[in-house]
Structure 1
Amino acid sequence: MNVPSLKQQFAALIAAPSVSCTQPELDQSNAGVIDLLADWLGSLGFACECQLIAPGKYNLLATRGSGPGGLVLAGHSDTVPFDAALWRADPLTLREADDRWYGLGACDMKGFFALVIEAVRPLLDQPFRQPLIILATCDEESSMSGARALADAGRPLGRAAVIGEPTGLRPVRLHKGVMMERIDILGQSGHSSNPAYGRSALDAMHAVMGELIALRGEWQQQFRNPMFSVPQPTLNLGCIHGGDNPNRICGHCALEFDLRPLPGMQPDQLRMMIRERLRPVAERHQVQLDLAPLFPSAPAFEEPAGSELVRLAERLTGHCAEAVAFGTEAAYLQQLGCQTLVLGPGDIACAHQPDEYLDLARIEPTVTMLRQLIGHYCLSPMFET
């Protein structure tokens, strides 16, 4: 097949729905995105390996060249859920306005794959002395199961890995961990005319949320790392579900929350502290309370400041490597022996937001930088970086 233009690739990737969500009714397959990428990269001479991770969920490893070493250009193929009513136009249709491309995944981060393809196309007539691997994972926005499966398999990938998450083209070598947790409260339903007929799980959850907010404040006083723009750990109360009718005492309520610990804060210890804090709430409200991770926690990440990849990225971008508050799959690629960095064209401020966009001014510098990275790690020594 003929590989479409850059803008056509953006449009096709955005039009292929690939929501990853903890709520089963919103969760979708990423097969459409993986099929597009495999077709395009296969047409460019890449050897494409699709890995089934779970029903409807796939990773793609597309390789050009062979041998040890080389470069991995990585990203996730899924997006977060969206509320179409809050967008100015269809989230799954690419829209150009204000010198930007708007669409779900334009920034975070399906659009990155189109930029990678744009960067590599004019280089394909040169000898690849070391492999270039383009990696697309599944479910980064929820379980990170795609990246975890790669790490568990233990197969080495490349000498260096760059993940194109939105960093505003500033290299990132440090980020927080990610914990996604769920609290279930089981009370007793009953007729709302008399509180004695039941034990309200919603009332108990109100108290639980108060304790979590108080605990968050204590942690933010206790832990601080000035390398981060958000120097404290964060705890976000993400979604809550409970009850079924106004005239019934709520018998069950569930809360899902997101906790971003700083490097050095241990997930198991944090979970134990939460349980201890909530035990009196359960006793006072006479309810059953269960706390459990939705997914295994994603580790914090740090690439040494002196590594070859960090120094190269700093030279190519003109920016010193930074720390960010959001989490990525970087630690999993690091476990496979890659020097790893997070570096992409989008802005995190518009990620997970209505009217997500990519500034058109970022396209050319991103493509140039990617070509320089490919030249450094994969092409002949005559390639100028």
Structure 2
Amino acid sequence: MKPLPDIKQKMSTLLSLPSISSTLAEYDMSNKSVIDQLASWCESLGFSVEIQCVDEAHKKYNMLATLGKGPGGLILSGHTDTVPCNIEKWQSDPFTLTDKDNRFYGLGSCDMKGFFALALAAVEKVDPAKLKSPIFILATADEETSMTGARALASLGLPKARAAIIGEPTSLKPINMHKGILMEGIKITGQAGHSSDPSLGKNAMDVMHSVIGDLMSFRAELKQQYHHTGFSMPNPTLNLGCIHGGDNPNRICGQCELHFDLRTIPGMSSQQLRVQIKDRLDRIAEQTQTQIEFYRLFDGVEAFASGEHSELVNLAEKLTGHGAQAVAFATEAPFLAAANIDTVVMGAGSIDQAHQPDEFMAHDQIEPMVNYIEQFIKHYCL
């Protein structure tokens, strides 16, 4: 086992390797440099490392590093990408670690390159010869957009670990539930024509009016049907996000398109919801004799809930002194939980600092998180 740079140096190196994930091609980047750096550090600590290309066209990669052998074990999981940033709105270079006011500033400092620096620091305290179950470090691609990396985990072959910690910034509090998300599109194709005679065409915007009314009715039905007091917003939500249609006031609108999101709570099925929406849209299409296309903007993420008697959640609550909480944002947790791995979301830094200029991780979050990870390793691997 070779000693690695200290936590500050590790974070500085990772932040200096841009790995922006974006739906806009002009901002999107490969995460290969981050994966290669993590692989190098893991190999120095004696891990065996597997790197998987999950999107050859965009050069996106996952890494699974394994230290030790035997059944069970613990996964320390994080994503290697960041959101885009408005450099002009930062007070410092987002790709350079800035140590100021007892905080580490930089893009990815808390969300969530910083987690890898803390996880590796905890692993360095462990004697590999004493491991009875393995430690896994999982690094994924494109969590901020498509979750391509998490979706590829099945083909990578997730280890049969007992537990997994996803180190998203939660202010050191364990998260045992979060909402899921669908992002969907509806495109209505009518027939353009001169607005002086509606019979010359078929107004797609008129049909969209019916579609929006039906979606609002569906939203009310979901609110009546599903409720979970663990969330500050206890019901599923359906947001009509953006709409585009037509091209001129004196032309019958020939095409209209709507994008919306639906945030689910545990117990709801994305597949079933899509079937229900499709059935409703098919009825409107038949009634109005128009073409209605229903499509996914991305594949979506299921809602997540740890097992009712989760050993990991109980341990996290005991270590931190905080009861497990539910959050509205989505993570990669459902993909690990689907493999029957006991999973909790917990990390240093606050989600309030993520996705905005001057993102930071406070110094006083670092040592406690390293200690918590070390205790998790002792429980599951030693």
Checking the alignment, whether the CA contact within 8 Å between 1:154 and 1:336 is kept in structure 2 is no
TM-superposed deviation, 1:37: 0.7
Which residue matches 2:8?
7
Distance 2:288 2:319 in 1: 58
TM-superposed deviation, 1:59: 0.7
Consecutive unaligned residues in structure 2, runs of 5 or more: none
Does residue 161 (structure 1) correspond to residue 164 (structure 2)? The answer is yes
CA RMSD of aligned residues (A): 3.4
Which stretch of structure 1 is more off in the superposition, 300-309 or 19-28? 19-28
Structure 2 residue matching 1:80: 3-state secondary structure = coil
Which residue matches 1:269?
272
Question: Kindly tell me: are residues 13 and 283 of structure 1, through their superposed partners in 2, closer, same or farther at Cα, counting changes over 3 Å?
Answer: farther
Which residue matches 1:95?
98
Which residue matches 2:67?
64
Task: State the TM-score, normalizing by the size of structure 1.
Answer: 0.83
Distance 2:69 2:11 in 1: 28
Does residue 294 (structure 1) correspond to residue 297 (structure 2)? The answer is yes
Task: State the TM-score, normalizing by the size of structure 2.
Answer: 0.84
Distance 1:253 1:79 in 2: 33
Checking the alignment, whether the CA contact within 8 Å between 2:68 and 2:128 is kept in structure 1 is no
Question: Kindly tell me: are residues 116 and 284 of structure 1, through their superposed partners in 2, closer, same or farther at Cα, counting changes over 3 Å?
Answer: same
Structure 2 residue matching 1:92: 3-state secondary structure = coil
5 Å-filtered alignment, 1:180-329, equals 180-186=183-189, 212=215, 215-216=218-219, 219-237=222-240, 254-275=257-278, 288-329=291-332
Distance 1:166 1:324 in 2: 12
Which stretch of structure 1 is more off in the superposition, 203-212 or 159-168? 203-212
Does residue 77 (structure 1) correspond to residue 80 (structure 2)? The answer is yes
Which stretch of structure 1 is more off in the superposition, 274-283 or 143-152? 274-283
C-alpha distance after superposition, 1:204-224 (max 9, x if no partner): 768866765665455335432
C-alpha distance after superposition, 1:73-100 (max 9, x if no partner): 0011122233334434433333333432
Distance 1:93 1:214 in 2: 49
Checking the alignment, whether the CA contact within 8 Å between 1:48 and 1:62 is kept in structure 2 is yes
State the AA in 2 paired with 1:334: A
Does residue 349 (structure 1) correspond to residue 329 (structure 2)? The answer is no
Distance 2:82 2:209 in 1: 30
Which residue matches 1:17?
18
Question: Kindly tell me: are residues 189 and 112 of structure 1, through their superposed partners in 2, closer, same or farther at Cα, counting changes over 3 Å?
Answer: farther
5 Å-filtered alignment, 1:330-341, equals 330-341=333-344
Distance 2:203 2:93 in 1: 40
Distance 2:284 2:94 in 1: 42
Which stretch of structure 1 is more off in the superposition, 162-171 or 283-292? 283-292
Which residue matches 1:150?
153
Which stretch of structure 1 is more off in the superposition, 25-34 or 282-291? 282-291
- Which of 116, 131, 134 matches 2:134? 131
TM-superposed deviation, 1:139: 1.8
Question: Kindly tell me: are residues 44 and 265 of structure 1, through their superposed partners in 2, closer, same or farther at Cα, counting changes over 3 Å?
Answer: same
Question: Kindly tell me: are residues 63 and 230 of structure 1, through their superposed partners in 2, closer, same or farther at Cα, counting changes over 3 Å?
Answer: same
Distance 2:26 2:202 in 1: 29
TM-superposed deviation, 1:49: 0.8
TM-superposed deviation, 1:226: 0.3
State the AA in 2 paired with 1:54: D
Distance 1:321 1:238 in 2: 31
Does residue 28 (structure 1) correspond to residue 29 (structure 2)? The answer is yes
TM-superposed deviation, 1:369: 0.5
Which stretch of structure 1 is more off in the superposition, 334-343 or 159-168? 334-343
State the AA in 2 paired with 1:373: F
TM-superposed deviation, 1:162: 0.8
Distance 1:366 1:176 in 2: 24
Which residue matches 2:375?
372
Which residue matches 1:47?
48
Question: Kindly tell me: are residues 82 and 245 of structure 1, through their superposed partners in 2, closer, same or farther at Cα, counting changes over 3 Å?
Answer: farther
TM-superposed deviation, 1:234: 2.5
Which stretch of structure 1 is more off in the superposition, 111-120 or 4-13? 4-13
Which residue matches 1:383?
none
Which stretch of structure 1 is more off in the superposition, 40-49 or 264-273? 264-273
Consecutive unaligned residues in structure 1, runs of 5 or more: 380-385
Which stretch of structure 1 is more off in the superposition, 98-107 or 274-283? 274-283
Which stretch of structure 1 is more off in the superposition, 4-13 or 199-208? 199-208
Structure 1 residue matching 2:50: 3-state secondary structure = strand
Checking the alignment, whether the CA contact within 8 Å between 1:58 and 1:137 is kept in structure 2 is yes
Which stretch of structure 1 is more off in the superposition, 204-213 or 240-249? 240-249
Which residue matches 1:382?
none
Checking the alignment, whether the CA contact within 8 Å between 2:264 and 2:302 is kept in structure 1 is no
TM-superposed deviation, 1:189: 7.3
